[in-house]
Amino acid sequence: MAKVADVKLSWTRSPSSGVTKVEVKTTVNGNETVVEVGPEVESFQITVQASSTVSFQVITHGDESGDVAASETYTFTLGDLEAVLPATGLGHEVLAVRDEAA
């Protein structure tokens, strides 16, 4: 029986007002799928077979102006799903900028 993993793809949604829709473009081992989600969505779950290469991109559509903004493409490869898995979801977020007395 082949191993599979349920994988959560996540992002921070656009802070822009007037976003009408978001498309999540996933590519698994060269097979591309595009799914439309609401502007409030910040994650999407897929099932992936062991040893697969996955990439995804979030495409944000604006209102009547027709603006489209594409995120970076995020790519990862699953291992054989037999060995222990590493920690994931590492990142950073600037919370505030301020002057501080020396």
pLDDT in tens, the chain (102 residues): 889 999 999 999 998 888 999 999 999 999 999 999 999 999 999 999 999 999 999 999 998 778 999 999 999 999 999 989 888 888 878 777 788 887
Spatial neighbors of 5 by CB under 8 A, at least 6 apart, are: 47, 48, 50, 78, 81
**Predicted TM-score of the model (pTM):** 0.83
Tokens found for residue 85: 């898995």
The contacts found for 11-17 with CB under 8 angstroms, 24 or more apart, are: 11/42, 11/43, 11/58, 11/71, 12/42, 12/93, 13/39, 13/40, 13/41, 13/42, 13/60, 14/39, 14/60, 14/69, 16/60, 16/62
Question: Domains in the chain, ordered, with CATH?
Answer: 4-77 (2.60.40.10)
Please list the alpha-helical segments (H only) found in the chain: none
Cβ(55)–Cβ(48) below 8 Å = no
